Amino acid sequence: MGSPEFALAIIAILIGLILCSVPVVIALGLCSFFGLAYLTGSLDIAGSLLANTTYEAIRDYVFAVIPLFVLMGEFIARSGTATDLYNLINRGLKRLPGRLALATVVGNAVFGAVTGVSIASAAAFSRIAYPQMVKHNYDKAAALGSIAGSASLGMLIPPSVLLIVWGVISEQSIGRLFVAGVIPGLVLTGMFFIFIIGFALLKPEAFGETGASGLPDELDTRDPAEARREKLGGLGVCGLIVIVLGGIWFGVFTPTEAAGVGVLLALAMAVLKGVNLRGLGEAVLETGRISAPLLFLLITAQMYSRLLALGGITNFIQDLFLNLGDSPFLILAIMVAVWFVLGMFIDSVSIILLTVPMFAPLASTLGYDPLAFAIMGIVAIEAGLLTPPLGLCVYTVKSCVSDPDATLALIFKGSIPYWIILILLVVLVANFPAMATFLPSLM
């Protein structure tokens, strides 16, 4: 069994390696191996423990969920249905103020439900929505902020890669986590809507030359055949989401089976939309590029979790936090602050792998429902993606927009209201955990 000194040393070494730009997967693997070797007194035993952990992780059926959902998102992204969806929503919101920004929020919500990755949503709508907003004289900070801010919906509305990773690390049901994210995701979308409509009414000049009414009528004229294709593409994406999530909710599919069905349906949509064999092959290769690092991270995270358990590090962290005070909200606030700080420097998956093995048991000790705590954690980590100096969603938008006026400072400025709304949602779920627990209780 480890000592407090051992726990502090492991945490310090891990943080030090990450600050020295060592990839998180390597940092976790090195700390796990040498930490276990120190505890057991043998490199051979440590190697055997890690080999067994790796084997158990790889053979886990649930690991197939990540590449399958990523592949589903790749097929959808390459089929052009994201653009169809955006245009369809655009016309549906014709009479609302801030129409293009609202369409971006809804598009990110639906597209995020397909891809499960915030960065993918930010990249897609930077290319789809921003040129339209600029064309119609939107304030650039408002336009860029709506893209970067609403991209956070991709990690909350299921199926979400972060929810999958959280479920694997905390050993919770991924299906229940998916369903737990539905109401908070809809609430967050609604909060973004209220903000944009209010902003558009107070400052209509920020939303284009047509005032708060949205697009001019000329953009609503289109070829009937194009309109049918657009409607089929947009409604096809929505139908795919209903089938996948509905199948999980009603027990027709396990999450892995639902992902497989989703891939087949997305493949059919891609073929119908004219994606050729080369495009399909590129989607498969890109899925490998995205999924392989995530799976390696999960393997090393399982090793890290074993080290935390054998070394008594989890108990040490719990005692450390509990000694700071007896208020659950105070301790939750500290955990959220840790997530913010980490979100400035590293990606969301790595944050979950580093903190959830320690924070999840602590949250249970404090009386937080595991599902509600997971949603609070995902939202807080997503807020970190908008936090300077290295908010990844902001940098993604910047890299996908060629406009020289679209500076990082401008994107961060436009994202501030969305960052505040994300924090407000954490507070709401903390005070009303039924937002996350109600739907799973019906399963």
pLDDT digits (tens, 9 = 90+) for 5-24: 777 788 788 888 877 878 87
Percentage above 90 pLDDT, the chain: 11
Q: Cα-flanking dihedrals φ and ψ of residue 34, to 5°? A: -75, -30
Q: Answer whether 126's CB lies under 8 Å from 80's CB.
A: no
Torsion of CA 249, 251, 252, 257, to 10 degrees: 80
Model confidence band, residue 61 (pLDDT cutoffs 50, 70, 90): low
Q: How far apart are CA 179 and CA 442, in angstroms?
A: 10
Closest CA to 193 of 161, 232, 150, 235: 150
Please give the average per-residue pLDDT across 406-416, as a whole number. Answer: 87
Please give the average per-residue pLDDT across 304-313, as a whole number. Answer: 78
Q: How far apart are CA 144 and CA 284, in angstroms?
A: 30
Please give the average per-residue pLDDT across 33-50, as a whole number. Answer: 84
Q: How far apart are CA 348 and CA 90, in angstroms?
A: 30
pLDDT of res. 338: 85
DSSP per-residue string spanning 50-77: HHHHHHHHHT-GGGGHHHHHHHHHHHHH
Secondary structure in 3-state letters for 209-233? CCHHHCCCHHHHCCCHHHHHHHHHH
User: Residues near 395 by Cβ (< 8 Å), separated by ≥ 6?
Assistant: 408
Q: Answer whether 69's CB lies under 8 Å from 256's CB.
A: no
Alpha-carbon distances of 237 from 168, 266, 278, 388, rounded to whole Å: 27, 8, 22, 33
163-196, pLDDT tens digit by residue? 888 988 888 888 899 889 889 989 999 999 999 9
Model confidence band, residue 212 (pLDDT cutoffs 50, 70, 90): very low
Q: Which residue's entry shows tokens 């679209």?
A: 406
φ/ψ region of 327 (left if φ > 0, alpha if ψ in -120 to 50, else beta) reads beta
pLDDT of res. 29: 85
What is the model's pTM? 0.80
pLDDT of res. 434: 93
pLDDT of res. 155: 79
Q: Cα-flanking dihedrals φ and ψ of residue 286, to 5°? A: -65, -35
Please give the average per-residue pLDDT across 205-229, as a whole number. Answer: 59
For residue 127 the two structure tokens come to 């290319």
Taking residue 329's Cβ as centre, other Cβ atoms within 10 Å add up to 12
Q: Output DSSP code: residue 20.
A: T
Please give the average per-residue pLDDT across 146-175, as a whole number. Answer: 83
Residue, of 219 and 94, whose pLDDT is higher: 94
Question: What is the chain's mean pLDDT, rounded?
Answer: 81
Inform me whether the pLDDT recorded for 234 exceeds 90: no
Exposed, middle or buried, 431 (CB in 10 Å: 0-12/13-18/19+)? exposed
Inform me whether the pLDDT recorded for 306 exceeds 90: no
For residue 270 the two structure tokens come to 């891609």
Rg of the chain in Å (alpha carbons): 22
For residue 100 the two structure tokens come to 């293009």
pLDDT of res. 216: 47
Inform me whether the pLDDT recorded for 219 exceeds 60: no
